[in-house]
Amino acid sequence: MAKKRNIIVGQSGGPTAVINSSLAGVYKNAIERGFDKVYGMLHGIQGLLDEQYIDLSTQIHSELDIELLKRTPSAFLGSCRYKLPEIHEDKAIYEKIFEILNKLDIYAFIYIGGNDSMDTIKKLSDYAILTGQTQKFLGVPKTIDNDLALTDHTPGFGSAAKYIGASTKEVIRDALGLTYKKNMITIMEIMGRNAGWLTGATALAKSEDCDGPDLIYLPEVPFDVEKFLAKVKDLLNKKASIVIAVSEGIKLADGRYVCELGSVGDYVDAFGHKQLQGTATYLANFLAAECGCKTRAVELSTLQRSASHMASRVDIDEAFMVGGAAVKAADEGDTGKMVVIDRVSDDPYMAATGIYDVHRIANEEKLVPREWMNKDATNVTKDFVDYIKPLIQGDYQPIMVNGMPRHLVLNMKKGRKK
Ligand code: F6P
Ligand 1 nearest-atom number relative to CA 275: 16
pLDDT at 357: 96
Q: What is the pLDDT of residues 101-143, one digit of tens each?
A: 999 999 999 999 998 899 999 999 999 999 999 999 999 999 9
Task: Give the mean model confidence (pLDDT) for residues 357-364.
Answer: 91
pLDDT at 353: 98
Q: Which domains does the chain have, with CATH numbers?
A: 6-147+310-363+394-417 (3.40.50.450), 157-306 (3.40.50.460)
Q: What is the pLDDT of residues 60-106, one digit of tens each?
A: 999 999 999 999 999 999 999 999 999 999 999 999 999 999 999 99
Q: What is the pLDDT of residues 160-181, one digit of tens each?
A: 999 999 999 999 999 988 877 7
The answer to whether 193 is a known ligand-binding residue is: yes
Q: How far is CA 301 from CA 71, 99, 247, 286, 288, in A?
A: 20, 39, 11, 21, 22
**Which protein residue has the closest C-alpha to ligand 1 atom 4?**
14
Of 11 and 176, more confident: 11
Active site residues: 145
- Our mutation pick for probing the ligand 1 site, out of 43, 79, 191, 304, counting the most ligand atoms within 8 A of Cβ, is 191
Nearest by Cα to 244 from 252, 233, 255: 233
pLDDT at 375: 97
Is 333 exposed, middle or buried, given 0-12, 13-18 or 19+ CB atoms closer than 10 A? exposed
Q: What is the pTM (predicted TM-score) of this model? A: 0.95
pLDDT at 405: 97
Ligand 1 nearest-atom number relative to CA 116: 1
